[in-house]
Amino acid sequence: MKRPAVFFDRDGVLNEDHGYVYEISKLKWIAGAREAVKAANDAGYLVFVITNQSGVARGLYEEHHVQALHEWMAGDLARIGAYIDAFEYCPYHPNAVIERYRKVSHRRKPAPGMITDLLERFPVDISRSILVGDKPTDLEAARAVGIRGLLFSGGDLAKLVRSVIDPKKNVSG
């Protein structure tokens, strides 16, 4: 059975974006972010994080830092009974200082590769799914696969998410 999904950008949507967030001690959740994830979980939606992480390509941090931060985020969400079904990130950038990360990638937003990779692995109902991002490139990625994109410009993320998902609907069919 296909289920709707909420695709969240990370920096600027789930956590405050103060430039290349990779240290657990520097992550600050956006108001209502954890509650937004929990609301989507409770409504039966799949929940994904899709994030460009060019800081890896720029040599500012390494992939294991991104993975450790995502593990910490998952643990913190679990404390309120919330979870992310999958975290996806793109470490590539065409102007990378680290050669192995210097390339144009189908996974780097605005390209939809992270989304299409998730669509291959999970039974997602595209017609009932949404992407929440804070940049036009996020919305471009959503448009490329036919998912409704919502521009988040601050405030309470849970309020926005609750306004677009219907927990009363049977999302399993």
Query: Residue 46 and residue 125: Cα distance in Å, rounded?
Result: 10
Burial of 130 (0-12, 13-18, 19+ CB in 10 A): buried
Choose the catalytic residue: 11, 85, 134, 138. Answer: 11
Nearest to 50 by CA among 1, 84, 97: 84
Q: Is 11 a catalytic residue?
A: yes
Distance separating alpha carbons of residues 148 and 132, to the nearest angstrom: 9
β-bridge mates for residue 5, sequence order:
46
Catalytic, 9? Answer: yes
121 exposure class (CB count in 10 Å sphere: 0-12, 13-18, 19+): exposed
Of 144, 140, 86, the residue nearest 116 (C-alpha): 144
Side chain identity at residue 59, one-letter code: G
State the Cα angle at 13 between 12 and 19, rounded to 5°. 20
Q: Which residues are catalytic?
A: 9, 11
